[in-house]
Structure 1
């Protein structure tokens, strides 16, 4: 199954929920900025992450934004203004 690259950002009101969402994001992607992650995910991994996040957040107080950057073989161009950020390499990674 092809993997797609997503930019995922979050705004979580409660510190306990924030820590839990942050842990979920660290398990699925690489931090780009404080509350912004780049994730290369298969459809199953994306569904798993979204289900876990939905179970964790308060839908009336918190928000998650997911931006599809395209297939990992030819992801969207990302431009940085100011301090440059290191983007994760494409494809599977062994940790």
Structure 2
């Protein structure tokens, strides 16, 4: 099953919805910054994530941005300035 790396950022207006979205994101990826996650997802996992997030969001007030960084075997580079960040390792991971 092909996996792709996504950079996902969110802006959630309500603190209760924000906590719920954060929990969903923590289940699917690695926090890069406060509301930014890196997620290595199969097509089915991405669909599940989108469904879970959409159920929680207020579509008129909140936003979630997904940036496709490419296949996990060779994703686009992420560079950081300042304090280094831990990114998901390449290949399958057992959680």
TM-score by length of 1: 0.95
Runs of 4+ residues deviating >4 angstroms: none
Residues 1-95 of structure 1 mapped to structure 2, 5 A cutoff: 1-95=1-95
Structure 2, unpaired ranges of 5+: none
* Deviation readout 1:24-74 (Å, 9 max, x if unpaired): 000000101100000000000000100111110000110000000000000
Q: Is the 8 A contact 1:4 1:68 kept in 2?
A: yes
Aligned length: 95
Quote the Cα distance in structure 2 between the aligned partners of 1:17 and 1:91. 32
Q: Is the 8 A contact 1:40 1:90 kept in 2?
A: no
The alignment yields a C-alpha RMSD, in angstroms, of: 0.8
Offset, 1:85: 1.2
TM-score by length of 2: 0.95
